[in-house]
């Protein structure tokens, strides 16, 4: 991976934050998505998941190992690489496809990279980078979303195994995943952050299964599930990191997750504006194009300005992350701002598409449904603002 000084020397002409390597990744992703994703996205929305063969092709192109060392088949990039990945996936206009990939690359498998032993990483990470094994993270429960201390799923040590019992909710890649990074309480029951541990659970492990697939408002092409653990015996060697330290692993990766979700939101907002600008420049009403209506073009101009401002905050925060800074406040700002802004953009973009924007055949209709979760998933806006507020004084 390039040092900050080297990155500055090879900076892209388009941005002070990105290098030519980043721009090459962006161009390759854009070509791949136009060829391999957009023509098939509607079918994936109908079937409720992205074909695993598509993910294997992405792995073969190097798109699933952007953040991981070359020793495991990756590219060794920083958070800026993840931002490029998320923005370009979002340009597909299929949020379910985008989040399927991003959970695999930036929300689930990082737990293995950060906390796993060398043996665990050698065993699993090359297959994850290649798209041969699809990853999911099982953290959320019906009564424990952002409130991790309320987690009830338990893991009891029994000789050379742990026995897991409980359930997980809203798990992306849950139906068709292969490797699950599961949070469970190894300490005493209660509302303490202490005593939470992480485990690697493979598909097919006795006692582990999909309770039911979940049907969502948006992100229809991402498979989402409720998972159940009933006396599920996991080898003690599948403990990820240290027993009782799983909460700190979860919190550490939430910063990357929230940054990436902010990037996805910005990619979606930018694309929605592009689609809408194209539409209003062609659609005529009362003898003129919609673009010639001052109220419409000024509203779009303001939205474009705000998206660009949020994009610069996102990019600067990712750049600072690449320098090694701790950025809980800034990442929380990114997540809150971008998650709210993308919904505002979608509302107006659908409005300016008129009746056509309300039709299921319209990309903007799908994007509006997909965007709604951006202010909820990965940390609700209200939770993010509290993280910011605690660090303002």
Over the stretch 126-180, which tens digit does the pLDDT of each residue have?
999 999 999 999 999 987 766 777 889 999 999 999 999 999 999 999 999 999 9
* pLDDT at position 240 over 80: yes
Q: Provide the pLDDT for residue 228.
A: 97
Distance CA 50, CA 59 (A): 14
Q: Average of pLDDT values for 321-327?
A: 94
Q: In this structure, what token pair is assigned to residue 251?
A: 């919190």
Helices 95-102 & 246-282 angle (0-180, nearest 10): 150
Q: Provide the pLDDT for residue 4.
A: 41
R_g of the chain, CA atoms, integer Å = 21
* pLDDT at position 71 over 60: yes
Summarize pLDDT for 98-119 with one digit per residue, the tens: 999 999 999 999 999 999 999 9
| Helix ranges restricted to H, 171-213 | none
Per-residue confidence band for 251, with pLDDT thresholds at 50, 70 and 90: confident
Residue 165 neighbours by CB under 8 Å, 6+ apart: 153, 154, 156, 229, 230, 231, 232
Mean confidence (pLDDT) of the chain: 94
Per-residue confidence band for 262, with pLDDT thresholds at 50, 70 and 90: very high
Contact 364, 316 (CB under 8 A): no
Q: Is 33 helix (H, G, I), strand (E, B) or coil?
A: helix
Summarize pLDDT for 182-199 with one digit per residue, the tens: 999 997 766 567 789 999
Beta strands in 95-254 (DSSP E): 135-138, 154-158, 161-172, 179-185, 196-202, 208-213, 224-235, 239-240
Per-residue confidence band for 247, with pLDDT thresholds at 50, 70 and 90: confident
Based on the residue annotation, tell me whether 257 is a catalytic residue of this protein: yes
Q: What are phi and psi of 49, to 5 degrees?
A: -165, 160
Distance CA 135, CA 153 (A): 20
Identify the DSSP state of 227.
E
* pLDDT at position 356 over 80: yes
Place of tokens 């919904």: 343
Residue 35 neighbours by CB under 8 Å, 6+ apart: none
Q: Provide the pLDDT for residue 248.
A: 84
Q: Average of pLDDT values for 234-263?
A: 92
Q: Is 340 helix (H, G, I), strand (E, B) or coil?
A: helix
Task: Give percent above pLDDT 90 in the chain.
Answer: 88
**Residue-wise over 351-380: b if at least 16 C-beta within 10 A, else e?**
ebbeeebeeeebbbbbbbbbbbbbbebbbb
Catalytic residue among 21, 257, 268, 387: 257
Per-residue confidence band for 347, with pLDDT thresholds at 50, 70 and 90: very high
Q: In this structure, what token pair is assigned to residue 304?
A: 């474009």
Identify the DSSP state of 275.
H
Q: Provide the pLDDT for residue 147.
A: 73
Q: Average of pLDDT values for 41-52?
A: 97
The domains located in the chain, with CATH, are 4-133 (1.10.540.10), 136-244 (2.40.110.10), 248-389 (1.20.140.10)
Helices 246-282 & 79-90 angle (0-180, nearest 10): 40
Per-residue confidence band for 45, with pLDDT thresholds at 50, 70 and 90: very high
Distance CA 351, CA 293 (A): 14
Sign of CA dihedral 359, 174, 183, 57: negative
C-alpha of 329 from chain center: 19
Q: Provide the pLDDT for residue 193.
A: 73
Residue 158: Cβ within 10 Å count: 11
Cα end-to-end distance, the chain, whole Å: 36
Per-residue confidence band for 252, with pLDDT thresholds at 50, 70 and 90: confident
Q: Provide the pLDDT for residue 9.
A: 45
Q: Average of pLDDT values for 11-26?
A: 86
């Amino acid at each position: 991976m390039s040092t900050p000084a080297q990155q500055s020397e090879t900076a892209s002409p388009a941005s002070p934050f990105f290098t030519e390597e980043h721009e090459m990744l962006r161009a390759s992703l854009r070509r791949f998505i136009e060829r391999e994703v957009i023509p098939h996205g509607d079918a994936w929305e109908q079937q409720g998941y992205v074909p695993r063969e598509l993910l294997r092709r992405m792995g073969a192109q190097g798109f699933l190992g952007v953040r991981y060392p070359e020793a495991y088949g990756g590219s060794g990039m920083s958070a800026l690489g993840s931002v490029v990945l998320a923005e370009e996936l979002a340009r597909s206009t299929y949020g379910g496809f985008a989040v399927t990939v991003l959970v695999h690359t930036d929300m689930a498998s990082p737990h293995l990279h950060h906390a796993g032993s060398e043996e665990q990483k050698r065993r699993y990470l090359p297959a994850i980078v290649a798209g041969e094994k699809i990853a999911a993270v099982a953290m959320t429960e019906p009564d424990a979303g952002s409130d991790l201390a309320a987690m009830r799923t338990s893991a009891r040590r029994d000789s050379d195994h742990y026995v897991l019992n409980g359930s997980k909710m809203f798990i992306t890649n849950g139906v068709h995943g292969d490797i699950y990074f599961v949070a469970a309480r190894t300490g005493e029951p209660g509302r303490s952050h202490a005593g939470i541990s992480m485990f690697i659970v493979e598909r097919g492990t006795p006692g582990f299964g999909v309770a039911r697939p979940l049907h969502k408002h948006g992100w229809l092409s991402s498979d989402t599930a409720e998972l159940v653990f009933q006396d599920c015996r996991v080898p003690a060697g599948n403990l990820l990191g240290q027993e009782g330290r799983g909460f700190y692993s979860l919190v550490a990766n939430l910063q990357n997750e929230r940054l990436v979700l902010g990037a996805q939101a910005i990619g979606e907002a930018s694309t929605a504006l592009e689609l809408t600008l194209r539409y209003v420049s062609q659609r005529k009403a009362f003898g003129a194009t919609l673009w010639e209506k001052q109220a419409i073009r000024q509203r779009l101009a303001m939205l474009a300005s705000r998206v660009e401002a949020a994009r610069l905050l996102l990019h600067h925060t990712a750049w600072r992350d690449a320098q090694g800074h701790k950025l809980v406040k800034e990442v929380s700002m990114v997540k809150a701002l971008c998650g709210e802004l993308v919904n505002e953009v979608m509302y107006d973009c659908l409005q300016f598409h008129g009746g056509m924007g309300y039709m299921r055949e319209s990309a903007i209709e799908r994007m509006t449904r997909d965007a709604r979760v951006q202010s909820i998933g990965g940390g609700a806006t209200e939770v993010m603002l509290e993280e910011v507020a605690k660090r303002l004084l």
